[in-house]
Amino acid sequence: MTDSDANLTALPEEDVVEEEEVKTQTLPSAYSSIPIRPATQTSKQKYAPIEWLGYFDKEEDIKIPDSNDVFHVYTAGSEGPVVFCLHGGGFSGLSFALSASKIKANARVVAMDLRGHGKSSTEDDSDLSIETLCNDVLAVIKAMYGDSPPATVLVGHSLGGSVAVHVAAKRAISKLAGLVVVDVVEGTAMASLMHMQKILSGRVQHFPTYEKAVEWSVRGGFLRNIESARISVPSTLKFDDSRNCYIYQTPLEESERYWRGWYEGLSDLFLASPVPKLLLLAGTDRLDKSLTIGQMQGKFQMIVVRHTGHSIQEDVPDEFASLISNFISRNRIGPHGVEIPGLPRPQK
């Protein structure tokens, strides 16, 4: 045994192991350049609900005089024109949360829960006729701003787009300054009505937790932005005590008698609106004949938003907010309104 062997055997066993480990670690490895992976989130953490605070500034209930109707609205921003947002069927005002957090730098944002949706409560939540929905929007605007609202841009997604067009057609908002319709046109909508019941029945109807509902919405491709889904999806559900699970707040399958009225004649009403108009689409194949002709004649601005699903404002909120802000700037829509041909001049 050499002196070096004797010194080695005199070391505690754990020291020998440590020395061997150090030598082993210094050896070149084919995996040495691979970065350490961060700890993965559990499914529950990844899809957990997020509060609207930090996106909108506040929420409030708007009581409609001489009725029992109370409409819930979310607001953001303190200066500029009002961007009044109307969500799609089965959604809620929170579908505009991420977009509102960006738009509020240039405008005031109001997103209401339509009748039968979100936290709004009315004498008849099942009445989703286009006439009733339009009257609701006008009543909320009047309750919030009286007879002299600031310059207002109506922004509507899907069903909300139809409501926005019909509200604009009434010419009842003295300072209506713009109209933005998000991914809905008459031709495609009317053609899809015969399949709507099958589409609705194909959805998962019951969820044990909010997290599972958010996960289903994202994994199923219904929404593509997890952050937005975590904010908006819980607001579309309610807890069913009898079944001990969450179900949809709005039973859209029971509103079939109103569907045709939502979309019939929509293209002509849109084209006839005297205010600046923007149509945002997720695909060019959605234009019908009337809109194709109108677009060629320059009657409205059309933008196809790539790499997104039906809910453009949720899937790509930064791009959506930028498009809305650019629309306001391009048409010089200010906080005190602009003179629009065909609309009465506001009383001073």
CA 156/CA 183 separation, integer angstroms = 9
Q: Which two tokens stand for residue 177?
A: 């300054």
User: CA triplet 181, 186, 188: central angle to 5 degrees?
Assistant: 105
Q: What are phi and psi of 114, to 5 degrees?
A: -65, 165
Q: Which two tokens stand for residue 223?
A: 């929404």
Report in angstroms the alpha-carbon separations of 88 from 46, 184, 261, 309. Answer: 25, 10, 15, 13
Q: How many helices and strands (H and E) does the chain possess? A: 14, 10
In 45-183 the beta strands, taken as DSSP E runs, fall at: 58-63, 70-76, 82-86, 108-112, 152-157, 176-182
8-state DSSP, 121: B
User: CA triplet 59, 61, 64: central angle to 5 degrees?
Assistant: 150
Which residues form the catalytic set? 158, 183, 310
